Amino acid sequence: MRSPIHREGWPFIAIFAVLNFLIWRFSHLGGICFLPLTLWCVAFFRDPERTPPPGENRIVSPADGKLLPIVEAVPPEELGLGPAPRRRLSIFMNVFNVHVNRMPVSGTVVALAYRPGRFFNASFDKASVHNERMSARVRPTGASDPSADLAVVQIAGLVARRIVCDISEGAQVRRGGRYGMIRFGSRLDVYLPPSAKIVVQDGSMTTAGETVLAEL
Which positions are catalytic? 186
Q: Are 100 and 134 in contact (CB under 8 A)?
A: no
134 forms beta bridges with 114, 154
The 3-state DSSP class for residue 163 equals strand
| DSSP for residue 129 | H
Side-chain half-sphere CA neighbours of 201 within 13 A: 1
Specify whether the CB–CB gap between 185 and 66 falls below 8 A: no
- What distance in Å separates the CA atoms of residue 101 and residue 23, rounded to the nearest whole number? 34
Residues 6+ apart with CB under 8 A from 142: none
Q: Among residues 49, 54, 67, 58, which one has the least CA distance to residue 150?
A: 58
Question: Based on C-alpha coordinates, what's the Rg of the chain?
Answer: 18
Round to whole Å and give the CA distance between 42 and 64.
17
